[in-house]
Amino acid sequence: MLEVLIVEDSTALGGAIKQAIETTIKIPVTWCQSYAEAQDAIKNKGSNFFIALLDINLPDAPQGEVIDFVLSKKIPSIIFTGEFSDDARDFIWSKKNVVDYVVKEGIYTIYYVVGLIHRIYKNRNIKVMVVDDSKFSRVLMVNLLKVHQYIVFEAVDGVDALKVLKENPDIQLSIVDYNMPNMDGFELTKEIRKKYVKDEMIIIGISAHGNNIVSAKFIKNGANDYINKPFVIEEFYCRVTQNIDTIEYIQTIKDYSNKDFLTGLYNRRYLFDVGLKLFANAQRKNLSILIAMIDIDHFKKINDTFGHDSGDEVIKAVSSILQNFFRKSDVVARIGGEEFCIVATNFSYDYVKKNFNDLRKTMEEMAVYKDGKTIYATISIGVCTMLQSSFENMIKIADDMLYISKEEGRNRVTIFNE
């Protein structure tokens, strides 16, 4: 299990940060109050620490000896300092694997450190691409990004970058140099923007030709931000982090708009927005498309017998199974209290019959445990697999099939394929 290492001799500050990290981020913390304790902790479980928070002055290491020791173990570290000067700053940034430095300034320090550690923890799942024909410049940026624990890809020019993107379409940030052979940064930015809008992929332009014209052209061609070379490491990190934070805030807002609060499934609005597009595409290209309506059987009885909190737990359990049962390309939505809808494309009829029957059986075997009680639930399913004149008409047919499943005894699948 990943852990955070704190080396801080102040009982008040160390304890407050430990509690804040464990409460907010839900990550275990090992807190040491001396250099000797830190050495023992790393000896016992050094590979567990994905990041360290180090006080620059300790009673048994007043000259920052703990920093060199922890960094030598290749543990990215945030440096704590009681006072700040240009010399201290140069000393800190001269070290490899330094994530950031933090001046001890009261309660704000705790907020900042916890936010930074959370950011580094999340970075481990974020893909970033660096595009630069200069090996020196590219390696420098790649190494800096790896310290912040991003998954990093490299490209030597625009053409190479497009190949990397094709193989890794989930890259969220690209740092793009201006002056490159084959395809320069402006052209690459325009090509990326043909597929990704600004809230889907961040583009940061970068160039040694540091003038306002270059930065303006990058922004006009679709970049989110711009950095001049040579850059200050702090500015580089600040701009990357700020842009990643922004794209995550936008995604959070989208999720609130498109997703059901209780289950995390898509909501009715999203179902119709995307479903209509999938339907139109299926019509245009003569592709297979299905709509399935799913209802939890006797749900009112579950609420009346076990209570509404237990009913919510059943809904969440059903939603979790639905999420895991279908492909990422399928739309799985909660459209009512205990009612769900699936929209899927590109399938065979044999797949439909088997998959929905397997789903029904899985739900039948599901048990929800709440307040010492065991709750079982089944579902009824209606499916329309034939392309109709409209998306709404397909939903109506699927709903009619669901009604038949209910009328014929529930816990059934009825498929319309004529």
Query: Taking the model in full, what pTM does it have?
Result: 0.79
Are the C-beta atoms of residues 214 and 178 closer than 8 Å to each other? yes
Output the furthest CA–CA distance in the chain (Å, rounded).
81
Tell me how far apart the terminal alpha carbons of the chain are, to the nearest angstrom: 53
Reported for 45-48, long-range contacts at CB under 8 A and 24+ positions apart, including other chains, are 45/3, 46/73, 46/75, 48/1, 48/2, 48/3
Distance CA 34, CA 59 (A): 7
Categorise residue 64: left if φ over 0, alpha if ψ from -120 to 50, beta otherwise. Answer: left
Give the model's pLDDT for residue 209. 79
Can you spell out the DSSP letters for 178-205?
SS-SSS-HHHHHHHHHTT--TTT-EEEE
pLDDT score for 298: 96
Task: Please state, in angstroms and rounded to a whole number, the distance separating the CA atoms of residues 398 and 382.
Answer: 5
DSSP string, 267-325: -HHHHHHHHHHHHHHHHHHT--EEEEEEEETTHHHHHHHH-HHHHHHHHHHHHHHHHHH
Q: Which two tokens stand for residue 264?
A: 């995390």
pLDDT profile of the chain (418 residues), mean per 10: 94 94 95 96 92 94 93 94 82 91 88 95 97 96 97 97 96 96 95 94 91 89 94 94 95 90 94 94 91 97 95 96 92 96 88 92 95 94 94 97 96 89
Burial class (CB within 10 angstroms; exposed 0-12, middle 13-18, buried 19+) of 197: exposed
Res 210: pLDDT: 66
Q: What is the DSSP letter of 209?
A: S
